[in-house]
Structure 1
Amino acid sequence: MNPESLIASAAINIGLAFFILTLFSVLKKQPSNAPIYYPRRLSESHRQSHRHIPDFDDNYASSSVGFRRFLPSVTWISRAFRFSEDEILQSNGLDALIIIRLFKLGIKFFVVCSLVGLAVLVPVNYNGGLTAMSNHTLDSFSISNSSPGSNWLWVHFSCLWFISLYGVYLLYKEYKEISAKRIQQLLNIRHQPNQFTVLVREIPFCSEHKSRGCCVNKFFSKHYPYAYHSYQILYDGKEFKELMNQAKSIEKKIEGLRKRSVVKKNNKTPLLLNPSHEDSEKISVYEENLEELHHKIHQLQCEDMLHEKELPVAFVTFKSRLGAALAAHSQQHSNPLLWITDDAPEPRNVSWRNLAIPVRVLPLCNFGVIVAASLLTIFFAIPVTAVQGIAKFEKLKKWFPPAMALQLIPGLSSVITGYLPSAVLKLFIYIVPFAMLGMAKLSGCISKSREEIKACNMVFYFLVGNVFFWSLLSGSLLDEIGESFTHPKDFPGRLARAVSAQADFFVTYILTDGLSGFSLEILQPGLLCWDAIRSCTYGRGKEKTPYLYSLPYFRIIPLVSMSVLIGTVYAVVAPLLLPFLIGYFLLGYAVFINQIEDVYETIYETCGQYWPYIHHYILVAIILMQITMIGLFGLKSKPAASISTIPLLVLTLMFNVYCKMRFLPAFSLLSIQNAKEFDELDEKCNQVEFNYENASTAYCAPCLRPLNCMEPGSSHTPPLATSSSF
């Protein structure tokens, strides 16, 4: 990529970001856009009518001036940097705070790396003794410009050790702090029912009483006589769900017919008119059908019908956290495929549809998901190769002569080779997280958080495979076609050469993903268009409801972690890329604090279970940097530096093993020590009985809830059938 292409890419991305952020700052002040830019705060204000909404209320109070709300401002950026971690933790939970900590970690890491790179490595590279003859913009300032065998390569070796050890230090510090915050958060929310509850699967059938519920009660009463409290058996709710969908459809039709008879007088006072005779007949027919459906649903909720639909799954409640922890951590039966216990997720975090999947089928589900994700990764190699073909315009002209016509328009080839490849790649990648989440939902995870964590893993490794490795290899293959296949043993060297050659492409990728990507994230153009269409068609005159969605961990974490990987690998190879990453993380930090506080809803809390995966992704980045440098030192005829890097690689792997032993167990299980301490604290506050009684009614399956409590988030509704409580 020539300098003109890189400058064109930077100019386009900076210009787009400036325009989009200016447009956002204006649109955010318009009252009609409140459901888009303040949905979380609007929903909270509906629940708590006295709640003051900062910035929202102030902006709209001053909107009476008229002209001020059409002026762009940067108050949302200054407001974002004023938020403290304690405020985010209190209002949004530890999971949301981890997203912010990821951006802060990127800022702290790459600021130091940039200082080292710009002050030490760039001057060494520029005076390295070679004159870069290629078209790659950053070659003169990268390790490619160093002479083979030069002793100056020991400077790169020293910087590699410093950056690696600094990254490991930051990871250890973050893991330790987040682990402490997790324990504190568990203490703060110790009243939640999941701390008293265990999920039990593969429950055997009791032939004597023709019930699995009876078997659950006998088993836990016998083996946990002092800790066991009650159980809630689960049922097959497919038929119930179909009837509920029919009932909701009829309710919407009745509501639509009734709204025909409502007209507004002076746009304020509603005047009810008598519905027409035809509408009255339709309403009466629909009401009869609805009453019949309600009768069928009540019949399905009777105990006799429920016994026939029992599943080998139950939520078992204990009188103490200690009892629940002991049951969840133990093997219950000599046959490990019976009485399988697991920590229960929060009631709002339960994936009810997957609990009906037998445990024996889960390996097949996981295998199918892995195959589907692999096929998607392989399929996406086609557009990635095409993107690299656009970026390698000089080579493309030799193989496809009509492409020379682009040179007839001045500057067009620079725009195409500089901006278009990263924009096209970003467009293709946008749909990947949603596809992976859809696959993860088919894998049989018991909670929504586990589905998102599984999607995070699949998206991250997809990006590593396609955006990083395949972009490197396909770009290299377009320069030296066939050599990577004919000499597979030279892979480390070819990887190192490809990494050095593709630095300018990844600069444009970071610019597009950061400037354009984060700007579009905060603007939400899709919702703006949909809201405009809705307001002009069937939604005209209706009260707008907030566009409230959950925080998309499955999309944010892997994409940001991929940028960390790119920056880490290039920290020693091409340090000029690092300042772009600082801007990337600063903008992302401001954008996602705004989104977390105003836009996205927290629908569950895992108390930081995403962090071990982020830690793993960043360690993968550090290890890839070290392997790349081993190859580069070999290419530069410095075998002593390559061999001396191997102990660093071993130390990093040993650090990973240590973290798994020291911190990881605390993120998957509630320790016996903490469980006992929390129980003792409840005894002092006289909250023991209240907590486990609340837990015994929290896990009410959808098919047992009353018809007026079927909305999401109503899982604390007491069940209609109470035969499962003892």
Structure 2
Amino acid sequence: MFPPRNSSCDREDIIAPKFKNEAALKLQLVLSLALGFSALIIFCILRPRWPSLYAAHKRRLNSKINLPALTNSFLGWIPQLYNVSETQILAAAGLDAFVFLAFFKMAIRLFCIMAFFAIVVLEPINLKFRNSPKREDDDVDPELFGSPRISYGGGFGAFKGGKDDDQSRERPYMWAYVIFTYFFAALTLYSINWETFRIIDLRQKYLGSQSTVTDRTFRLTGVPIKHRSEERIKELIEKLEIGLVDSVTLCRDWKYLDELIKRRDLLLRKLEASWAKCLKMQESSTKQHSDATQTQDADEDANGHGVNGDEEAAENARLLSSEQGRPHIFEGDRPQVTIRYGPLLLRSRKVDAIDYYEEKLRRMDEEILEARKKEYQATDTALVTMDSVASCQMVIQARIDPRPGRFLTKPTPSPSDLVWKNTYALRGIRRLKAWAITLFIVVLTILWIFPTAFLASWLSICMIDSFLPKFASWLKEHPLIRSFFQNTAPTLIVSLLNVSVPYVYDWLSNHQGMVSQGDVELSVISKNFFFTFFNTFFVFAVSRTGVDFFNVLRRFIKDTSLIPTIIARDVEDLSSFYTSFIMLQGIGLMPFRILEVGSVVLYPIYRWLSTTPRDFSELQQPPKFQYGFYLPTALLVFNLCIIYSVLLEGWKILMVGIIYFALGYFTFKYMLLYAMDQPQHATGGAWRIICYRIVIGLLVFETVMVGQIASSRAFIQSVAVLPLLPFTIWYSYYFSRRFEPLTRVIALRAIRNGGDQSEEREEEAVEEEISDDDVPHFQRQILRRGSTLDEFKERGLTFVNPSLVLPLQLPWIYRDPPPFPDDDATTEGGRSSQGHPTLILPNADSSLGIGEDNVWIDSTQRR
């Protein structure tokens, strides 16, 4: 896979990303600008033409939510988007979107301050004292990554009795790095603290002012066998004298019923596909018959047939021909399916597919109706709905049983967010699956080093010269193209891997046994950050090559004092690579996110694969915004900016980081407010992950600075940075004790009774602190209402397994969707009271595309 050590190619030249001159960064900037501007121009052209894609979320919002409509002008929508207030973000997109965008705003403010000091103070120091052709840390183990000839007289030699002399007095400018390491770390922690106070304050007011079924329900686990009944659980909770119980849903082993519903859905889709094929055959046959009839009439007119007996014979012939145009009359014209039967399923025959699937669907419906009447075994989990939010929160924040593992209370996700199949799964099985998948992800992340290194190696000039010498000679004559292969291509590879891998981790997280989609989303964020930070930064920072990572890791285990010095040396070598990486992610690829290039490219494919009305209906659904796909990369960029803020050329990374977060703020603000739906809801829980990952970045930053200063033999200054490490670790503990509980629950004092007039006046006074003066009063009411979901979406939801009450849908064959078969969902006229949307199918108008206003005709039913 890689050349041997005695090869003419150095292993680091093969794999390690290098930017040896300013021309490489200029080329990267030109390519990023070309990509970014082309995507932005295409988006500005398509946005007014495809509103069902680029304004899908806005069109489905309740009309009472006053989210301003954006102009259709080419660039006029940008200032209008900027003017959308935080209150409007809360009302239209919810708390998760608010937290996500608040992180971007915090990053912009923080890095603007850092960049100012990096340019005004640190850059002159670097130019005067450190801008020399020969680096001062060249004597720090140059053979660490290859030959075993190692003399570990690294940066800490003065403390180990080595030959290195302490030059702390000769290099007083190193105190500037110490001061700004403390200053930037303190500034980052202050920003986290300030933003956390603001988010918690708003979260408590946002969640404490509403009373949806989600906020009045808690999840009770560890229920003993003798208490596994709704009556006993209700009696137990009410004996605590905390409040009254409205309802209890005891989770039972509904696996058999859920499997029946799942099989019925597959069967229903097969039946609809058979009907679609049949109607297509009928349409084709009718068209052929119409053409043949017109030809026959023309021949009869030409031959001058009579108007009596001959005309009657022609009419009979046309009737017979029209009967032939009805495919359902003759066997073989309808779609067929092969069924196998007999011993070992060796015998087979073809039957009518529609009749076969209709009969199977009828029997399946009977089986489901019988299954719904059965009594299933109770599990140790129950969902208890209290009469008030305060009662529910008191139960959640208390321990109601002295025995370990018994009657544990936890918050409950929204009914639409609940994963019912995991509510009745055994806790031991779910825990085993969680640990197994976590271990698998760790192994997969480590193994991913090799394909990254392999792809990067094939784009290196040395490898090209070994296998394609003529092409390598041609590259030497064209420096721009050579720079692309040597410098730009590695960043493209890393960026593409960061886009593709999250889909794998998302699939694994959904099979980990979590009870809510919000928990799955937070898990995806954590897993993808681990992957991006490990493979994009840590591996290169430790070894500069993926292949040598494990050898270097073994040497670190033998001598841990090498860690700061070696990491500091390699981190500074990779500064231009990460500058190019952030530049590509922000300027080059961020506009492609708002363009939703994946949806645009895949739409024709999905449209071609769609055959049934249900397929076309699902095709028109807006894409889903998943924070686990976007937040990890933003966290990586944030940490890279902090790590490089004090180093050589750190101001460049800070500047491109500001551009990244500025473009990202506009991009994701548009996607969250206007374009995409958010099916998962974690009530702002992503802020915990953001803060803890920033703390990890701070620890790496401080470790790098210890090694960087020590590699310059300024050991006193290096030791002066060391206290920051335990202080940062203490802050993470402080954050977990002081702030984290308030990001999970609602404080009792934050819960307000809307019926109390005095409290209402107090609420209005408090809201003035977080609301804009020009925001309408109704939007301030919206701020005090909704929870994880908009209150409008949660209205009427209950904690009942959908398999028990879900109407058994009829086949969707024609243009209009079928009515629900139950009496409760229909009116006296027989039409659905739900106001089902009318879907316009492709055969109705061939000019319809992504952007036509053809999805939901009844605007009052947009959700």
TM-score interval for Structure 1 and Structure 2 normalised by the shorter chain: 0.7 to 0.9
Structure 2: unaligned runs, 5 residues or longer: 1-18, 138-154, 156-166, 287-324, 336-351, 761-790, 813-821, 826-863
Report how far residue 468 of structure 1 moved: 0.8
Q: Secondary structure at the match of 2:129?
A: coil
Equivalent in the alignment of 1:635: 711
Letter of the aligned partner of 1:231 in structure 2? V
Work out whether residues 390 and 416 of structure 1, in 8 Å CA contact, stay in contact via their aligned partners in 2.
no
Give the counterpart of 1:455 among 491, 503, 524. 524
Letter of the aligned partner of 1:233 in structure 2? L
Equivalent in the alignment of 2:842: none
Deviation track 1:395-415 (CA, whole Å, cap 9, x = no partner) reads x68988958446345132200
Report how far residue 537 of structure 1 moved: 6.3
Residues 1:372 and 2:434 aligned together: no
Work out whether residues 433 and 513 of structure 2, in 8 Å CA contact, stay in contact via their aligned partners in 1.
yes
Report how far residue 133 of structure 1 moved: 4.7
Residues 1:74 and 2:75 aligned together: yes
Deviation track 1:187-240 (CA, whole Å, cap 9, x = no partner) reads 34x221122111122333349xxx644543443354458533321122333332
Work out whether residues 214 and 414 of structure 2, in 8 Å CA contact, stay in contact via their aligned partners in 1.
yes
Q: Secondary structure at the match of 2:211?
A: coil
Report how far residue 254 of structure 1 moved: 5.2
Work out whether residues 202 and 337 of structure 1, in 8 Å CA contact, stay in contact via their aligned partners in 2.
yes
Quick one: structure 1 residues 226 and 123, their matched pair in 2 at CA, closer, same or farther if it must change by over 3 Å? closer
Residues 1:277 and 2:277 aligned together: no
Quick one: structure 1 residues 709 and 181, their matched pair in 2 at CA, closer, same or farther if it must change by over 3 Å? farther
RMSD (Å), alpha carbons: 3.9
Give the counterpart of 2:695 among 592, 614, 619. 619
Number of residue equivalences: 665
| Alpha-carbon separation, structure 2, partners of 1:560 and 1:292 | 52
Quick one: structure 1 residues 133 and 77, their matched pair in 2 at CA, closer, same or farther if it must change by over 3 Å? farther
Letter of the aligned partner of 2:31 in structure 1? I
Report how far residue 602 of structure 1 moved: 2.9
| Alpha-carbon separation, structure 1, partners of 2:554 and 2:24 | 30
Quick one: structure 1 residues 42 and 696, their matched pair in 2 at CA, closer, same or farther if it must change by over 3 Å? closer
Work out whether residues 227 and 318 of structure 1, in 8 Å CA contact, stay in contact via their aligned partners in 2.
yes
| Alpha-carbon separation, structure 1, partners of 2:353 and 2:550 | 71
Equivalent in the alignment of 1:291: 362
Work out whether residues 43 and 546 of structure 1, in 8 Å CA contact, stay in contact via their aligned partners in 2.
no
What are the residue-to-residue correspondences of 1:476-495 with 2, within 5 Å?
486=555, 488=559, 489-495=561-567
Deviation track 1:121-156 (CA, whole Å, cap 9, x = no partner) reads 11211121552258x9xxxxxxx9xx9852222222
Quick one: structure 1 residues 108 and 443, their matched pair in 2 at CA, closer, same or farther if it must change by over 3 Å? same
Quick one: structure 1 residues 444 and 545, their matched pair in 2 at CA, closer, same or farther if it must change by over 3 Å? closer
Residues 1:344 and 2:344 aligned together: no
Q: Secondary structure at the match of 1:707?
A: coil
Give the counterpart of 1:552 among 581, 604, 626. 626
Give the counterpart of 2:189 among 148, 151, 168. 168
Equivalent in the alignment of 2:660: 584
Letter of the aligned partner of 1:232 in structure 2? T
| TM-score of the two chains, using structure 2 as the length reference | 0.70
Quick one: structure 1 residues 314 and 638, their matched pair in 2 at CA, closer, same or farther if it must change by over 3 Å? same
Give the counterpart of 2:639 among 565, 572, 581. 565
| Alpha-carbon separation, structure 2, partners of 1:277 and 1:108 | 73
Quick one: structure 1 residues 550 and 392, their matched pair in 2 at CA, closer, same or farther if it must change by over 3 Å? same
Give the counterpart of 1:523 among 595, 598, 608. 595
Q: Secondary structure at the match of 1:229?
A: strand
Equivalent in the alignment of 1:14: 33
Equivalent in the alignment of 1:468: 537
Equivalent in the alignment of 1:439: 508
What are the residue-to-residue correspondences of 1:403-418 with 2, within 5 Å?
404-405=472-473, 407-410=475-478, 411-418=480-487
Deviates more, 1:610-619 or 1:517-526: 517-526
Equivalent in the alignment of 2:84: 83
Equivalent in the alignment of 1:216: 233
| Alpha-carbon separation, structure 2, partners of 1:709 and 1:230 | 28
Equivalent in the alignment of 1:427: 496
Report how far residue 524 of structure 1 moved: 2.1
Equivalent in the alignment of 2:385: 317
Give the counterpart of 1:500 among 566, 569, 572. 572
Equivalent in the alignment of 2:450: 382
Quick one: structure 1 residues 277 and 398, their matched pair in 2 at CA, closer, same or farther if it must change by over 3 Å? closer
Work out whether residues 384 and 471 of structure 1, in 8 Å CA contact, stay in contact via their aligned partners in 2.
no
Equivalent in the alignment of 1:120: 121
Equivalent in the alignment of 1:24: 43
Work out whether residues 254 and 424 of structure 2, in 8 Å CA contact, stay in contact via their aligned partners in 1.
no
Rg comparison, structure with higher value: 2
Work out whether residues 272 and 612 of structure 2, in 8 Å CA contact, stay in contact via their aligned partners in 1.
no
Letter of the aligned partner of 1:579 in structure 2? M
| TM-score of the two chains, using structure 1 as the length reference | 0.82
What are the residue-to-residue correspondences of 1:146-161 with 2, within 5 Å?
149-161=170-182
Quick one: structure 1 residues 212 and 205, their matched pair in 2 at CA, closer, same or farther if it must change by over 3 Å? farther
Equivalent in the alignment of 1:702: 802
Equivalent in the alignment of 2:398: 330
Report how far residue 435 of structure 1 moved: 1.9
Quick one: structure 1 residues 397 and 656, their matched pair in 2 at CA, closer, same or farther if it must change by over 3 Å? same
Letter of the aligned partner of 2:531 in structure 1? F
Quick one: structure 1 residues 472 and 290, their matched pair in 2 at CA, closer, same or farther if it must change by over 3 Å? same
Quick one: structure 1 residues 674 and 405, their matched pair in 2 at CA, closer, same or farther if it must change by over 3 Å? same
| Alpha-carbon separation, structure 1, partners of 2:757 and 2:449 | 56
Work out whether residues 453 and 547 of structure 2, in 8 Å CA contact, stay in contact via their aligned partners in 1.
no
Work out whether residues 505 and 527 of structure 2, in 8 Å CA contact, stay in contact via their aligned partners in 1.
yes
Give 1 or 2: higher helix fraction.
Answer: 1
Equivalent in the alignment of 1:235: 252
Structure 1: unaligned runs, 5 residues or longer: 60-67, 137-143, 266-272, 686-690, 712-716, 721-726
Deviates more, 1:175-184 or 1:624-633: 624-633
Work out whether residues 612 and 664 of structure 1, in 8 Å CA contact, stay in contact via their aligned partners in 2.
yes
Letter of the aligned partner of 2:179 in structure 1? S
Work out whether residues 221 and 409 of structure 2, in 8 Å CA contact, stay in contact via their aligned partners in 1.
yes
Work out whether residues 202 and 358 of structure 1, in 8 Å CA contact, stay in contact via their aligned partners in 2.
no
Letter of the aligned partner of 1:468 in structure 2? F
Equivalent in the alignment of 1:2: 20
Letter of the aligned partner of 1:54 in structure 2? A
Letter of the aligned partner of 2:803 in structure 1? C
Quick one: structure 1 residues 415 and 445, their matched pair in 2 at CA, closer, same or farther if it must change by over 3 Å? same
| Alpha-carbon separation, structure 2, partners of 1:338 and 1:548 | 43
Report how far residue 563 of structure 1 moved: 0.4
Letter of the aligned partner of 1:446 in structure 2? V
Letter of the aligned partner of 1:219 in structure 2? L
Equivalent in the alignment of 1:607: 683
Equivalent in the alignment of 2:69: 54
Q: Secondary structure at the match of 2:410?
A: strand
Report how far residue 478 of structure 1 moved: 8.9
| Alpha-carbon separation, structure 1, partners of 2:757 and 2:593 | 43
| Alpha-carbon separation, structure 2, partners of 1:348 and 1:382 | 40
Deviates more, 1:238-247 or 1:92-101: 238-247
Deviation track 1:376-428 (CA, whole Å, cap 9, x = no partner) reads 1111111333466478757x689889584463451322001121001011111
Work out whether residues 477 and 484 of structure 1, in 8 Å CA contact, stay in contact via their aligned partners in 2.
no
| Alpha-carbon separation, structure 1, partners of 2:550 and 2:466 | 12
Deviation track 1:326-365 (CA, whole Å, cap 9, x = no partner) reads 3223333343233332111121221212112222334322
Work out whether residues 221 and 381 of structure 2, in 8 Å CA contact, stay in contact via their aligned partners in 1.
yes
Give the counterpart of 2:202 among 177, 181, 184. 181
| Alpha-carbon separation, structure 1, partners of 2:268 and 2:380 | 34
Work out whether residues 222 and 408 of structure 2, in 8 Å CA contact, stay in contact via their aligned partners in 1.
yes
Equivalent in the alignment of 1:688: none
Report how far residue 158 of structure 1 moved: 2.0
Equivalent in the alignment of 2:670: 594
Q: Secondary structure at the match of 1:431?
A: helix
